[in-house]
Structure 1
């Protein structure tokens, strides 16, 4: 249990929690977020948005620790303060999925897609839930779903903002949503990076992906693609950072978990490597690449 930080403000406690989260110290992060929630709740001027972010951050820590029930509770609190917050929807969806509450998970993934139809994690989650529910309930599975909330247009416009490195854990900013031309340019730069990767030009690809992320810092696959490039040139710490960014958006992203595991292996941090592989195998138990890497790393421990 980390020491109490009574002399610190809620913002300092939140930042300390973010740092613990980034280094995988999820229990300590949870404690620090709890202290920050208490401090902010005692403050004279409470900000629902700030409090919502703190609950969502603590939910992410609970999810990482496998405490899915508490993750759901904190996401509920976060969403009561800021309805339709995408990160809270995705984290609650992931927790419901882990608890095999596939109908609730499906509803949350679909709600997140109403806010932003370009969220890869929500598309992937919806596909997984569709498959699971079809297997469980047959072709009439949609009839058993809870109602899917309708996200008002005004809410969609307000909430559709890019996820910057600060927002990823978690700082509150007011960055405007990327314009259509920025998104198109970002996609074009990403595709240029993909072509460079195919040609083995990883350093040049990193430059393209970095330019792409400046225009659209919410694209998970750009982070995981750049992480692959960093792995190729043995810049393992940079690969870990990119995977961290991707996993803050989608905590169950298989590519991010696998590539971070590879980076941890390169850094000889075998425990962190195995932890990531275990998380990956909860999502895809038969992932052959993960199973093979797990076997290799277990021999080195």
Structure 2
């Protein structure tokens, strides 16, 4: 019997190290020496289940229950095997049978809860979804998790590694371990969606002590025992799992890479760029799959003005990020840095291209602002490159010919082309304003005239055309104001006949309009017009109006003040003040 016990002990060690085939062999040899020992069948059942040989595991579990029908753990082994075979209803019945012998058994309670959850999942169709999520755990999962700064610290906890292996061995276990937030984070990280997490939970023992609300250690057979407590023997489900030597080496290299990155960050902040390059290079050599090291190195090259090397390094960062399924925001950062480097090289087209690509990965206000600024600059440059005074003159002459022929839309198009070719020539805006007036687009005509005036305050024709458009809009007071400005700028009086003629038309239209109104009606309408109402409410204007009533000659003095004259014209146009 001592040989059977020795074989069992060696089998326990093999199971704890993850060498399940070896554990099955050792437990089989022990059973041959002691075929009535229920613990040996229980342990071999656990090893077979770890190999996903659930039918064999079920046979051993049933033998365990046969040999020891009052031992709750045997029902746990049987329930686990049935669960692996997706026989959830039978697993549920088995767990309940075990609880009849040990009502407080935490493992059986959890198994029962898992079976209920699996049954509910199948009922509402979530089983297929769980399969899709579990696909993320295929392949070299541990190496990919070690390459991510957020998930690498989890690998120091054997319980976490055990859960990952558990899911790899049986994708259905993903649902069982979904209560552990680290598993959820690992799943999304492996799917390239790790950026949905704003924070990374603490790792290892710190995680186990600070996240009690996420997982109850008593209910998780893969959790480590409390400090100071020895692990239970193999017949429990709490056998410790350790990292392989290869995994330990990967974790150690990752830690060294993070240290090199920290040194690089410190050197970068101190603007010791050569040292920063060396440190980031060391981090990359230790772990070339981490996009953040490449991104940081590209940032150093940018600060040093080595823009081509910055672009090359950032492009490599994008490649690395795609291969390792890095978070989208890191890929976006690399693309944005390429865009900024091209902007520094004054290659606006490529800079805009990379900014747009960055925003498709992850949208940030910084990159969006840079994109808008470059688009504006690119438009300005395109306009400047399009300018040609000779071609502008040709377009203006074509517009003049079309205007004389009464082809106003075509003339407007030619004047617009002339403006694009030479936006400093006031004649182009003035001529287009004339076309717009013919086409009935009075507000646009006024805008073109105001642009003329802004470019050249002495361009009398712009004031006259503005007054004409305002007259047609029945804005008589504003039209008279424009004519007064025209008089001021018409020093040689060449345009005076045209100005006087339009002024007479304005006053005639005002008299025709106001003659139909009683003084009371005119005042009521004036008070409803904000522009006129503000003039009436002005105390200074009230005083002037009173003086004009008692002394009509005072009006001549007041009209010498342009501001007062303009206000009086508003009141005259409204019919509040009438011409004698």
TM-score (norm 2): 0.25
Greater RCO, CA 8 A, separation 6+: 1
TM-score normalized by the length of structure 1: 0.45
Q: Which has the larger radius of gyration?
A: 2
